[in-house]
Amino acid sequence: MSYKLGEYLRELRGNRSLREISKLTNEEVSHSYISDLEKGVSRRGNIIKPSPDKLLSLANVYHVEYRKLMELAGYQTDETSKPSNITPMSSSDLIDVPVVGTIKAGPNGVAFEDYQGTEVVMTNGLDISYEYFYLIVNGDSMIGDGIFDGDYALIKKTKEFNNGDICAIIVDGEEGTLKHITRSDDSIVLTASNTKYPPRIFVGDRMNEILISGKLVRTMRMF
């Protein structure tokens, strides 16, 4: 492999992290593999001959010609060398969503506190007519659902939910929490999935203390 490929890939990545690029490939290309490609050698010092399918995934993420990456890697390029099991990805398949550590009630419904930048999210499975944000999970109250401290919870901004859904909820304007929610005519119950935390029940006027800021769509764990 020509080291020109590594230099080119490093230039294309810019300020984005290796893990971010790996995530954009649906982790078809690991962050360590991308690092090796940029260096031109593996961690054991071996020269790398990148596979065409990995190069195609990177070409889709960086929006560059697949043929150019193949040529820099030393391949003789023709249409038959292109893997058939890779779906090209365009910029319309990606959105930026804000990452926040805390949510509170604000003048427009939800105020983002402890803003930590944005993350790129693939739109597959998302209704992009809605807005989304990442809420960083704090604590262990939802570990029964496999949601752990420090996980990123992708929230769709909506007040609509079905009983039992996991939602991002603001209590009394101040406390943002991620819980299962059940609503009836005379009560709202917030339930954790860790049994050491009892359900919180709001009745009568206290039901007005609850603001639904959004519904959990998926979670992401950072390593």
156 among known catalytic residues: no
pLDDT at 80 exceeding the cut of 50: no
CATH code of 114's domain = 2.10.109.10
Q: Which of 57, 179, 213, 215 is catalytic?
A: 179
To which H or E segment does residue 34 belong?
A: helix 31-39
Identity of the residue numbered 6: G
Do 189 and 182 form a contact (C-beta atoms < 8 A)?
yes
**Boundary residue ending a domain (68, 85, 102):** 85
Residues 48 and 101 in one domain: no
CATH code of 70's domain = 1.10.260.40
Q: Give, in order, the Cα–Cα distances in Å from 4 to each of 7, 60, 180.
A: 5, 19, 52
Q: Which of 141, 156, 213, 215 is catalytic?
A: 141
pTM: 0.62
pLDDT at 2 exceeding the cut of 70: no
Task: Give residue for tokens 């009892």.
Answer: 198
What is the pLDDT, as a whole number, of residue 156? 96
Do 62 and 39 form a contact (C-beta atoms < 8 A)?
no
179 among known catalytic residues: yes
The model's pLDDT over 145-157, given as tens digits with 9 standing for 90+, comes to 999 988 899 999 9
The model's pLDDT over 5-16, given as tens digits with 9 standing for 90+, comes to 888 898 998 888
**Boundary residue ending a domain (85, 111, 131):** 85
Residues 204 and 107 in one domain: yes
Angle between helices 52-62 and 31-39 (to 10 degrees): 90
Range of the domain at 141: 93-220
